[in-house]
Chain A
Amino acid sequence: MVDGFLKDGADVAVLEKSSEICFQLQKELVGRARVWECDVTDHKKISRVMREMRDAGFEPDVLINNAGSLHSEPLVNVVRKTDRVHSHETWRNVLASNLDSVFFVTGSVVDSMVRRRCPGVVISISSVAARGNAGQSAYSAAKAGVIALTRTWAKELGSLGIRFVAISPGFINTESTRSALGDVRSERLRQQIPLRRLGDPVHVYQAARAIVDNDYINGTVVEVDGGITI
């Protein structure tokens, strides 16, 4: 996503939680993009970083909420006899990284957009899991929440010139998807997709770019999934 927008000439800032990855990104992107260390589940850290961004002269008119974590856990693990209900801690953590982050960062960025009366767009990454995915209570709920927030905000703030759109990717060929699925499940899934292939991260970027360019797309979900949901 960062590479795509940089190639297209955008001025890009990245918020990254891990200090090691931040360091690596700062080296790779030096002179091309700005990188701030920030845990986007922490609204106080977000406020501080937003102030630093503003002081550095960076006030975005496009926000892409791309942070999140995948987690699979059954509501009740039926192969256990005790301690088998979904962890409340992981429920909270998954909701925090996938949904709280969207709420906190968007509030801060849109506050700035409204103050500046800057027409802007907020793109939030949801998932096909938002339709419900067995074994992914927290992830599905969070991704469905992202869609609800997108629609709510589009209704609330569209008249001020700010658009909200969700992208719902299907199975995208990334390291995290491959390690989560394994080879056998990956192949079974591939057979279920009408296009018979996993997506590529560039497909998600292309959707984001189209949303940025088309200022009549608002309050909707763009599904980038090879047709698996039809």
Chain B
Amino acid sequence: MRMSSTHKLFSLEEVFANVLSVSSDRLNASADITKLTAWDSMVHIVLITRLEDDFGVQFSGDEIADLRSVNDARRLLRSHGVDA
């Protein structure tokens, strides 16, 4: 069963904005987050665990490494049966 993002407290964009300390209206969905000054591999773990906790999924090791943008996250969540 697909889960709707309306059940979540925060949208996907809001999670990214919150973790990466940017405003969600300035977040480019296709932009590579690893280029942001606020990003490093420790922040990446925080982002991954926020996404996993908020959307109720568990990403594989490869998925964690491949997740570079909001669009990547949306695509991965869909592959786990979550609409975000």
Contacting residue for B45 out of A115, A116, A117, A159, CB 8 A: A159
The total number of A-B Cβ pairs within 8 Å is 19
A156 pairs with B60, CB closer than 8 A: no
Contacting residue for B49 out of A114, A115, A160, CB 8 A: A160
Which secondary structure characterizes the binding site on chain B? helix
Contacting residue for A115 out of B48, B58, B62, CB 8 A: B62
> Which of A114, A116, A157, A160 has the most chain B CB atoms inside 10 A of its CB?
A160
Contacting residue for B60 out of A117, A157, A159, CB 8 A: A117
Which secondary structure characterizes the binding site on chain A? helix
Say yes or no: is B46 at the interface (Cβ < 8 Å to chain A): yes
The complex places the Cα of A117 from the Cα of B52 at a distance, in Å, of 12
Q: List the A side residues contacting B64 at CB < 8 Å.
A: 114
Question: Which partner residue on chain B sits nearest A114 by CB separation?
Answer: B61
Question: Which partner residue on chain A sits nearest B60 by CB separation?
Answer: A117
Distance between B53 CB and nearest chain A CB, rounded to angstroms? 9
B45 pairs with A160, CB closer than 8 A: yes
Q: List the A side residues contacting B48 at CB < 8 Å.
A: 160
B46 pairs with A115, CB closer than 8 A: no
Name B residues whose Cβ lies closer than 8 Å to a Cβ of A: 42, 45-46, 48-49, 58-62, 64
